[in-house]
Amino acid sequence: MKKTINYITELTGIPSPTGYTKNVMNYLADEIEQLGYSVTKANKGGVNVTVRGKDDSKHRVITAHVDTLGAIVRAIKYDGRLKLDKIGGYPWNMIEGENCLVHIASNNKTVSGTILVHQTSCHVYREAGTVERTQDNMEVRLDEKVKNAEQTRALGIEVGDFISFDPRTIVTETGFVKSRFLDDKVSAAILLDLLRKYKEEKIELPYTTHFMFSCFEEVGHGANSSIPKEAVEYLAVDMGAIGDDQQTDEYTVSICVKDASGPYHYEFRQHLVALAKEKNIPFKLDIYPFYGSDASSAMRAGAEVKHALLGAGIESSHSYERTHIDSIKATYDMVDEYLRSSLVK
């Protein structure tokens, strides 16, 4: 798992809110090419690699996404602070107090800051603890000497500049990985490390497989414009959601039965369950009630494939997330066994 964990820390360290993903996609392309593969870049930014298998008549697609939650400058306020608009889905309280970077389009520089509610000081605002966190009162306090909108604009900042959040990635001695954006950079790291393994160990997969790293999953359309006509199976490797009434935990691989888009393909799910049992891979079946994936968006787009979803269990999704190396390993093993298995019957 050492290489997988290294990939996770490297990926989380590259800011990549949806729409601002060029740097992370270049990192992926460079890493994959250094492994000896040929990379194709999709027009909208995705990185794809095709691994030829023994059978080239029927193909598999496997995806992970590296775009993340983030924000964009909505307005520059009279006092020089910034109003935000969300990228991706999360409540405002999930980012309150977070350090951030403003990526300035006009000069390619960054300015650091902190995301706060306007009524932060409890010595001034009686309602500091109870005021509703909304777009109207959440703001970025810039780490620059600015007191008005003109001074902020003089830095080059303008409406439309992207804002990324500090990932704060930590790997503990007890095996926990804490960071923003484990959704879905854990999965991307797993796919990247499997590509390394297959190349170094000269492993030939039974079917031609397309590894797709997408950069628009958080806004709903993912990698699905690049699905080859030969594809018959589509596996999204994303995150397992943890909470009340959920079986998913931080120590197993979570196999999704259903999310907000509806049930996943039954036979595909049972194929994964059978593999997990046969190979003694710890797993949990679960429903993610407020969730969608690249696989579900592929179905909405009309892809004629069997679709499934699995991933590591991620605590506090879309906030400051956490998982454990046990869950990462179980997910790695599950994906590996699936890619070496026969087609779903």
Question: Is 271 annotated as a binding-site member?
Answer: no
pLDDT of residue 192: 98
Low-confidence stretches of the chain (pLDDT < 70) are none
Catalytic residues: 217
Question: Residue 168: its pLDDT value, please?
Answer: 98
In Å, how far are 11, 79, 136 from 293, measured between CA atoms? 20, 40, 30
Copy the structure tokens of residue 306: 């069997």
pLDDT at 221: 86
Structure tokens at 300: 């909405």
| Helix, coil or strand: residue 61 | strand
DSSP result, 222-246: TTGGG--TTEEEEEEEEEEE-STT-
**Nearby residues of 304 by Cβ (< 8 Å), 6 or more positions away:** none
Q: Can you give the residue ranges of every domain in the chain?
A: 1-68+181-340, 70-165
Looking up tokens 């997969």 gives 205
Place of tokens 């020089």: 80
Residue 333 annotated in ligand binding:
no
Residue carrying the six token digits 């999360």: 90
- How confident is the model over 182-208, as pLDDT tens digits? 999 999 999 999 999 999 999 999 999
Instruction: Read off the tokens for 145.
Output: 């000497």
Helix (H) / strand (E) containing 65: strand 55-65
**CA-CA-CA-CA torsion for 234, 235, 236, 239, nearest 10 degrees?**
160
pLDDT at residue number 69: 98
**What CATH architecture is 1-68+181-340?**
3-Layer(aba) Sandwich (3.40)
DSSP secondary structure of 176-213? EEEETTHHHHHHHHHHHHHHHHHHHTTPPPSEEEEEEE
183 is in an annotated binding site: yes
Q: Output the pLDDT for position 117.
A: 97
Whether 59 contacts 49, CB under 8 Å: no
Residue 40's beta-bridge partner residues? 48
- Give yes or no on whether 1-68+181-340 and 70-165 have one common fold: no
193 among annotated binding-site residues: no
Give Cβ neighbours of residue 201 (< 8 Å, ≥ 6 apart). Answer: none
Structure tokens at 178: 């804490």
Instruction: Tell me the backbone φ, ψ of residue 133, rounded to 5 degrees.
Output: -85, 115
The reported pLDDT for the residue numbered 39 is 97
Residue-wise pLDDT tens digits, 78-137: 999 999 999 999 999 999 999 999 999 999 999 999 999 999 999 999 999 999 999 999
Fold of 70-165: Elongation Factor Tu (Ef-tu); domain 3 (2.40.30)
* Distance from C-alpha of 157 to C-alpha of 76, rounded to nearest angstrom: 9
> Was 65 annotated as part of a binding site?
yes
Q: Which residues pair with 219 in a beta bridge?
A: none
**pLDDT at residue 226, as a whole number:** 79
Place of tokens 């991706």: 88
Question: Residue 223: its pLDDT value, please?
Answer: 78
Any idea which residue has 């605590």 for tokens?
315
DSSP 68: B
